[in-house]
Amino acid sequence: MMIQLLIGDLLEPGLKLVAAVIIGALVGLNRDLYGKPAGIRLCALVSLGAGLITVITADPRLGLADPGAAGRAIQGIVGGIGFLGAGVILHEARNNRVRNLTTAATIWMSAALGIACGLGAWRMGSVAAILVLIVLTLGLKIDRALFGRLGPDDLTGDDRGPNDREPSDRSPLRGPPSSSGQG
């Protein structure tokens, strides 16, 4: 009897956390495919962490009974996740360019998707996850078509111009790095 009650109390929050991990991993998969510093593990963990904090504070059976706790927790997540995003942003002084902004935004969105899962906002979270994947998949192609600012061999996105084509060692979308030392 006690085990059934425990499983019943943990089933819904557990499903919320599983959804957060899956959605975060899907977003991270896109970043891994483009050889970016934030991939499956980072996005899945960010989403799971945001979902866990949200579940604990929003579900009185698991955490605080304070109705304002979830709102304060979400404020903390949104503000705090910026430190992870800031860690992947690079400024190239020689070209006066900023790189990996899309990856930083992806980390932030992974947290937001985790929050949606933690709150049980399934429909809104699903729509947002689909839109994130569409933007990450088609955004670079649309940018090229409309503005032509990226060369045909540049698959990295993130504010790079046609003269900034440095192959990534991690990207399965490119061949292996050049052995001549010129990258």
What pLDDT, in 10s, does the model give residues 96-109?
A: 888 888 889 999 99
- What's the rounded Cα separation, in Å, for the pair 87 and 99? 11
- What's the rounded Cα separation, in Å, for the pair 77 and 118? 12
pTM of the predicted model as reported, rounded to 2 decimal places: 0.72
3-state percent breakdown (helix, strand, coil) of the chain, nearest 5: 65, 5, 35
Residue pLDDT, tens place only, 123-177: 899 999 999 999 998 988 888 888 776 554 444 444 444 334 444 444 444 434 4
Q: Are 163 and 61 in contact (CB under 8 A)?
A: no
